[in-house]
Amino acid sequence: MTATSLDALQRLLPEGMVVTDPDVTDSYARDRTFCAPGTALGVVLARSREDVVTTLRWASEHRVPVVPRGAGTGLAGGATAVEGGVVLSLHKMTAIRELSPADEIAVVEPGVITADLDRAAREHGLMYAPDPSSYEISTIGGNLATNAGGLRCVKYGVTRDSTLGLEVVLADGRVLETGRRTVKGVTGYDLTGLFVGSEGTLGVITAATVRLRRAPLVPPATVAAEFPTLVSAAEAVAAVIAAGCQPSLLELLDRATLKAIDDWRNIGLDPDTAAMLIAQSDASDGQAAAERMAALFEEKGASFVAVSSTPEEAEELIGVRRLAYQAKERLGACLVEDVCVPRSRLPEMIAAVEATAARHEVPIFTVAHAGDGNLHPVFVFEHGLAEPPPHVWAAADEVFRAALDLGGTLTGEHGVGLLKRRWLDLETSPVARELQHGIKQVFDPLGIMNPGKAI
């Protein structure tokens, strides 16, 4: 790659769209992990599909790696710059091209903030269901890249479940349209599903047709419960699912996480509380469902149970959950993971995490989308280190192996990125790896799309 070639890209795009200032370029080189990025040649601040087409045609001609990037909120190293490549930023592509209440769909560009789409939908009595904890800053494009979930995924599923169709620019600059505007459709292979979760390794998503859902007519009923042990809280989760309560949210926080939040925001943590569950029901009989969940929590040994009486109380409880990651970041550098196990195995997985923390003397802070069996154990280590020390990696390895032994997976919603590639062979078979690399070759024969990530 030569400076002359980058000059050519600058001539092809509007003035100021290609940024080469090292300080600016470095600010686009990282996500929220400790993963060290390569040195990018520059950043393209795309504003339209045509800008993306131009960039990828140029990149293919000059064999330059391209790393698509949204808001940089990823937790797996998937959007970190690669050496000698270009970061293709999509955060300025913020148009909601269409919002159709009649069809309950929206067509949005990748830079749209997740919460902004939800707010736009609610003006029509609808909602956008996926809501990762970073929903106020994360983008739809980033959610699509990792197949993000969120707090409501126990009822409404992950991003793929709300994605009907995509507009994608392929590595050579061709534009592909996948999927449909209808809820049903089985024509051909599911290319839409293939791109969702592909972490920018197959092409660049420039628009998505997403499914909207009817917003609840009344505010969800919310339950909070405190437990004397983490395992008893996990058992309460299993009881709620087995009873068919169908919560729209079911979140777990361990004591370490609660103490980090309490030290920061003074939430009045009881010294005997080892775990907290926060549950919601947005069904038409939500209050009755909440009372049923409260009774099940008490049966499983909760030391305190409360059903919210106002939307403001409910929002305060959900706000506690959304503070979890920031509270941990204050304590040290974080290795954030998101193993997922069958819901019936959640108590065993919780016990395994606790045992690992004790065995390796590593602080592990756990929150979970408990209704999905999706845990986020966060390994905290000293600020300033380039990467986790060996005993932290050993603890993480043990947690991953425990999840797989319980029939689970290495990642439920954060993606593989750079962080989890070392464990991929534990979950994927040689046949699966061969097919995945074959798919990559079909869509990206030159290997320029986010190389070194995901597979």
pLDDT tens-digit readout, 158-216: 999 999 999 999 999 999 999 999 999 999 999 999 999 999 999 999 999 999 999 99
The architecture (CATH level 2) of 3-89 comes to: 2-Layer Sandwich (3.30)
> Which pLDDT score is estimated for 143?
97
- pLDDT value of position 309: 72
Per-residue model confidence (pLDDT) at position 2: 55
DSSP-assigned letters across all residues of 176-213: EEEE-SSS---SSS-HHHHHTTSTTSS-EEEEEEEE-E
198-212 per-residue burial string, b: 16 or more CB within 10 A, e: under 16: bbbbbbbbbbbbbbb
pLDDT of residue 288: 94
Sketch the domain layout of the chain as residue ranges: 3-89, 96-214, 218-326, 331-450
Pick the CATH number of 331-450 from 3.30.420.10, 3.40.50.360, 3.30.70.2740, 3.40.309.10: 3.30.70.2740
> Using an 8 Å Cβ cutoff, are 358 and 334 in contact?
no
| CA gap 398, 413 in Å, rounded | 20
Q: Which residue numbers in the chain have pLDDT < 70?
A: 1-4
425 burial type by CB count under 10 A (0-12 exposed, 13-18 middle, 19+ buried) = exposed
∠356-360-363 over CA atoms, to 5°?
Answer: 80
Let me know if domain 218-326 sits in CATH 3.30.70.3450. yes
What is the CA angle 446-453-354, rounded to 5?
Answer: 165
Pull the structure tokens for residue 286. Answer: 């939500």
What pLDDT score was predicted for residue 384? 87
pLDDT at 251: 95
96-214 shares its CATH topology with 218-326 = no
Its CATH architecture, for the domain 96-214, is 2-Layer Sandwich (3.30)
